[in-house]
Structure 1
Amino acid sequence: MKDLIETIVKPLVDFPEDVRIETVEDDSKITCHLYVNKTDMGKVIGKQGRVAKAIRTVVYAAGSSQNKKIFLEIGE
């Protein structure tokens, strides 16, 4: 899951070296925390959250085979 998120996000940002993903796995869910450079937040979120929604849609679809809910949180 981490590789998929990096593959999607790194081409979008100006500082790909600052992209960091932390994964926390529980019994029923997986939470991925995506951290990017402060100046790249707008590019990852997009207008009205459209880019973030698209990233979440792809991640949720890819994770549906794991029988766990997947959450993607975006932060600085």
Structure 2
Amino acid sequence: MGEYKIIVETTSSNQRAKEQFHFLKQNQIDSRLITLTFDRQKLYSVQAGPYFAKKEALEHVDKIKGLGIRHAFITSNTD
């Protein structure tokens, strides 16, 4: 069994990432804000999950897309 997460947005704007994070929380979607450093530049990734069942991840990505965040996608550590 693998672990799934939803990448909601990755941006160089900390403010934008915080807004997305709070938007998800307001809509009862468990999320987290992760700071990444790539080529000495900070990036902020808003992620939902983790989910241990693919069905649950699919349901939540549909909910997120229904909130207007059309570019959200699922990643997995399976395979």
Q: TM-score range by the shorter chain?
A: 0.3 to 0.5
The structure with the greater share of residues assigned to strand is 2
Normalized against structure 2, the TM-score is what? 0.38
The structure with the greater share of residues assigned to helix is 1
Normalized against structure 1, the TM-score is what? 0.39
